[in-house]
Amino acid sequence: MTKILCPALIMAAPASGQGKTTITAGLAAMLRRNGKVVRVFKVGPDYLDPQILKQASGQPVEPLDLWMAGENYCQQKLYDAAQVADIILIEGAMGIFDGSPSSADLAARFDIPLALVMDVKGMAQTAGAIALGLANYRDDFVVAGLIANNCGSDRHAQLIRDALLEKPDQHQEMPLLATLKRDDAIKLPERHLGLVQALEITAELEQRLSAAADWIEDSPLKNILETAQKVEFSPPIKQASLPKGLAGKTIAIAKDVAFSFIYDANIRLLESMGATCRYFSPLTDAAMPEADALWLPGGYPELHTQKLSANESMRRSIQDFYGQGKPVLAECGGFLYCLDHLSDLDEKRHTMLGLMPGFAQMRPRGGCQGMQTAPLPEGDVRGHSHHRSLSHDTPQAIAHGVRPKHPAPGEAIYRRNGLTASYLHLFFPSNPNAICGLFNPSSVKSKAAQAKQQVSLDVV
């Protein structure tokens, strides 16, 4: 395989809330309606922004995280995208240097230029100083320029432009790529864990994306295909073969507005290992489908507690499945669904599945988040945590998540009968052998055998 050239840009920012998602989505929607193929990625673990970006681009949106997914995985996804796309857009996570690895780390690894997105409301020359400081904090990546969001007037824009040019001899060149005025018609609705899910507001979101496309087309960003730097993408190293221990197995997967935090990469891996995936709704279906294993992913069960509790036939169906000792994986929202009770946002307690003792309640503020490794009996699987609830009176954990750079124990991991439950969201491709064993225990190898035949974190 040969190297491929494709225009690419990472949309980064000094902090969250600067408009990265809106601008990335607007760019993708504008290019798409002009007949261009846009492949969009998201730095780091995220389920909500990719839903918006997928609707905007009309293409799947994958996470790119050098720790959770692995360098070779990221390289494979970028290389595949470069073969079909007119441009690759990557939305950064939080601030440009936040996290380890960060958006800047991804830019440096693959030589992809960054565009700084900054909300400049309430500042003028200072915006230039911040942009230049961020661009020159490290010397292993290039900033293509500044996108000044919420810019008030032409005079405001000129003050920022002048500030960017004050000391060109001491800094890399910093063009002002665009100034974008505030427009409430494009604002994306939010709730306690981030943006509202795209599948909940499909029609409204389409209107906002159309408005965002108009907003972008009325700016210099409409010429992004002509101005974006072409990046050389290389093929990844040869990948290890996948285990086929799920051949002939059916995995039932909860999927509706209450349970939707599902990486496409996880589904692809299960299917590549031979599994058949069958989806069902704990909210509206009477029973789960016939299956050999069950996956209850994360989502927003706290917003649908009454309906989940009232669906008694579904609860009995899942309880009967659990009673057979078959494998069940419950992640975050799925874990809450497995407890005896879950309190909604109004602190009203509702009956859940009762597969394991305990109850959970939402917190008014704060939360837990971060990257962690789940040390499962089947092997270590990388993932992340992001939640606003607290669980109480749960059984003793069999293990706790391991943080990459902090000694404090991470999320508790529970195992009961065939159930594995935790607040952690797992990224399945980080250890296909372990995932294979999780959903089909008869395929499990001993840890000693796994140590001899360790599968790379970069598989798939």
What does the pLDDT look like over 239-275, one tens digit per residue?
778 889 999 999 999 999 999 999 999 999 999 999 9
Tell me the pLDDT band of 317, cut-offs 50, 70 and 90: very high
Tell me the pLDDT band of 43, cut-offs 50, 70 and 90: very high
**Mean pLDDT to the nearest integer, 275-296:** 98
pLDDT score, position 444: 67
Mean pLDDT of the chain: 89
Amino acid symbol at 61: V
Instruction: CATH number for 4-233: choose from 3.30.420.40, 3.40.50.1220, 3.40.50.300, 3.20.20.60.
Output: 3.40.50.300
pLDDT score, position 459: 39
pLDDT score, position 174: 85
Q: At what angle do helices 20-33 and 48-57 cross, to 10 degrees?
A: 20
Question: What is the C-alpha radius of gyration for the chain, rounded to an integer number of angstroms?
Answer: 23
Tell me the pLDDT band of 454, cut-offs 50, 70 and 90: very low
Comparing 50-54, 312-316, 353-357, 417-421, which segment has the lowest mean pLDDT?
A: 50-54
pLDDT score, position 195: 58
Compute the C-alpha angle 191/392/320, nearest 5°: 90
Strand intervals (E) in 213-367? 230-233, 250-254, 259-261, 276-280, 293-296, 298-299, 328-331, 341-343, 349-351, 359-362
* pLDDT of 185 higher than 70: no
pLDDT score, position 200: 60
Establish whether 338 is a catalytic residue: no
* pLDDT of 345 higher than 60: yes
Tell me the pLDDT band of 211, cut-offs 50, 70 and 90: confident
pLDDT score, position 421: 97
pLDDT score, position 362: 81
Helix, strand, coil % over all residues of the chain, rounded to 5: 35, 25, 40
What DSSP string runs through 29-41? HHHHHTT--EEEE
pLDDT score, position 447: 43
Cβ–Cβ under 8 Å, residues 15 and 246: no
In this chain, the answer to whether the domains covering 4-233 and 250-452 adopt an identical fold is yes
pLDDT score, position 106: 97
pLDDT score, position 168: 57
Q: Enter the pTM of the model.
A: 0.89
pLDDT score, position 100: 87
pLDDT score, position 451: 46
The active-site residue, picked from 6, 332, 338, 436, is: 332
Tell me the pLDDT band of 457, cut-offs 50, 70 and 90: very low
* pLDDT of 391 higher than 70: yes
pLDDT score, position 386: 84
pLDDT score, position 199: 58
Give backbone dihedrals phi and psi of 314, rounded to 5 degrees, phi first.
-65, -40
**Mean pLDDT to the nearest integer, 378-397:** 91
Which CATH homologous superfamily contains domain 250-452?
Class I glutamine amidotransferase (GATase) domain (3.40.50.880)
Per domain, the residue ranges of the chain are: 4-233, 250-452
**Mean pLDDT to the nearest integer, 194-223:** 77
Cβ–Cβ under 8 Å, residues 423 and 383: no
